[in-house]
Structure 1
Amino acid sequence: MITVLLFAQLQEVVGKERIQVDASELTVTELKEKLKSKYNIPQVDQVMTAINEEYALPDDLITSGDIVALIPPVSGG
């Protein structure tokens, strides 16, 4: 089980601040595709990803027990 933490507009789209993904192993890209399909999050490709509080690349591996944070871009003013 992988825990995914959602921030800002991602929370609004999904309606939760955290979700559980039933998988033993996924890449960051595979996780984003799974979330895009299940929760209809079109902007998920543009979010920063962190695995266990370390920024991650698209091909980085996420394993069961990891905590993934999806952090959308912040617009300043």
Structure 2
Amino acid sequence: MVFALEMIASSRFSGLIAGLGVAGLTLGFALQDVAKNCVAGYILHVLLHQPFGIGHTISVGDYIGTVLEISLRTTEMQTLDG
């Protein structure tokens, strides 16, 4: 914190910005596999342990309808209104 304040006081923002950029890239690369595993785990959970199936009546927000199709990224339903 003191180092950052000294850099700001001496008008050397470029070093601080570069350092933050490198830190952000490093953190992004480090967490890339973790994020992929979390997304894959969520998708597998939804596909293997579906809380609903085709033909079930579900409610999503203000909509109520019957599930027509379940795919990897979407669930298609027909509302009671058509």
Return the TM-score normalized by structure 1. 0.19
Structure with greater proportional helix content: 2
Q: RCO higher in 1 or 2 (8 Å CA, sep ≥ 6)?
A: 1
Structure with greater proportional strand content: 1
Q: Which has the greater radius of gyration?
A: 2
Return the TM-score normalized by structure 2. 0.18
